[in-house]
Amino acid sequence: MTSAPEKTAVSSPDRIRAVQRRTLAVLSAAQIVGGVGVAVGLALSSVVVDRLSGSTVISGFAGTATVLGAALLALPTAKASGSGGRRAGLSLAYGAALTGCAISVLAITLGSWPLLLAGLVLVGGGSAGSLAARYAATDLSPRDRSARHLSLVVWAATIGSVAGPNLAKPADQIGMRLGMVQTAGPFAFAALAFALALAVVLFLLRPDPLTLARSQNGSQPAGPGRNRTIRTAWQVLRTTPTARRALVMIAVSHTAMVSVMSMTPVKLHHDGSNLDVIGLVISLHIAGMYVLSPVVGWLADKAGKVPVLLLGTVLLLASAALAGTAGHRVWQVTAALVLLGLGWSCGLVAGSALVTESVAFDRRPAVQGLSDLLMNVCGATGTVVAGAIVGVLGYPTLGLVVGVMVGAAGLWLALTRARSTPAA
């Protein structure tokens, strides 16, 4: 429910700017601690499932489970935001991730990979919360700064996300000293991170940015019937080609990133790399995803969202080529994953800003929720296919398949943009 103070607290442009600065700070704090939990799961989940199941193909389902969880929680998060504000949506997402980490610790203790996959589905709530936070950053932002504000919140995840994989080994050692089985400690540590992110959102995200933005725009929360369906979002997309293009490119960028990233720890593990090397490679990949996101946001606001999306496809193509030809060269795999992160950043920041600015304010939560649902469903599908490809045909073939997919999407975007330019 929305409180009366939140409806009336903002009345002047100066006050709106002050609230927006506070909102960005609080969202950034949640991103930092939540990023630790997400990154620990990314670094270890496929390796742990591989060890418990003894199957490379099944290990691919670890990434699938997490991405699928983010997809399943995207709509509930958007619906909660649409009716109760951003605080309600983000709390739901981080609460689910906290529960998933607890289940994962139990699963590892019991040696049950099916239960671990079930826990990882809920751990995907951490990613759902991180994705939803970027949209929350735009609720009160001026149109010409939406990409920059969005990118600042994306960038804030850098600290936690880069540190997370490297904290896995110390957390594992501490966990074993406390009586936990091997690899259970990092997931317990991730649970603490998500608990802190939940507390930050619940107690500090006040006033709620979406509630205040609605009061300024004269719009109302979605009604029960409208909030139970995504029909509104589909109606908007049918009549908004710009939003359609943005959603497609977000989904393709995310699918490419998750597919390659999820199978790289398994490849490195089979090549003889230890947890320290795997953690470093994933940390550098995550740095590529987040460190330059403010630059990407600035470029998207200045040069345009579509040019930045096209730049992202070039970076993803280069990454696929390097990964597919890396062999046992760890440095080349690392370079490929850094470019993979940069390409993803271009797709996410520019695409998300383009979705936001091309959709009417009162329909944004529904379309934003659909965007996160589609990107994570595509990402989950990609990890399933990636696990099968690597298990049967090898890691180089995965690079080829991803390159073809990204190239086709980039060509489609360039052609549709050229056809629409005269009309625009």
| CA 157/CA 287 separation, integer angstroms | 9
| CA 256/CA 316 separation, integer angstroms | 8
State how far the alpha carbon of 98 is from the alpha carbons of 42, 179, 289, in Å: 15, 21, 24
pLDDT at 3: 43
Q: Count Cβ atoms below 10 Å from residue 14 Cβ, excluding itself.
A: 9
**Domain layout of the chain by residue ranges:** 9-205+224-419
Q: Tell me the pLDDT of the chain (424 aa) as tens digits.
A: 444 445 444 457 888 889 999 999 999 999 999 988 888 777 788 888 888 888 877 887 887 788 789 888 998 998 898 888 899 999 999 999 999 999 999 999 999 999 999 999 999 999 899 989 999 999 998 878 889 999 999 888 777 777 777 787 888 888 889 899 988 888 999 999 999 999 999 999 999 999 898 888 766 665 544 445 477 788 888 888 889 999 999 999 999 998 998 888 888 877 767 677 887 888 788 788 888 899 999 999 999 999 999 999 999 999 999 998 888 888 898 899 999 999 999 999 999 999 988 887 778 888 898 998 998 888 878 878 888 888 888 889 999 999 999 999 999 999 987 665 433 3
What pTM was computed for the model?
Answer: 0.79
Smallest Cα–Cα separation from 191: which of 29, 28, 45, 34?
34
On whether the CB atoms of residues 194 and 175 are closer than 8 A, the answer is no
9-205+224-419 CATH pick, 1.10.443.10, 1.20.1250.20, 3.30.930.10, 1.20.120.450: 1.20.1250.20
Q: How many residues does the chain have?
A: 424
Angle at 55 between CA 50 and CA 56, to 5 degrees: 75
Q: Is 288 helix (H, G, I), strand (E, B) or coil?
A: helix
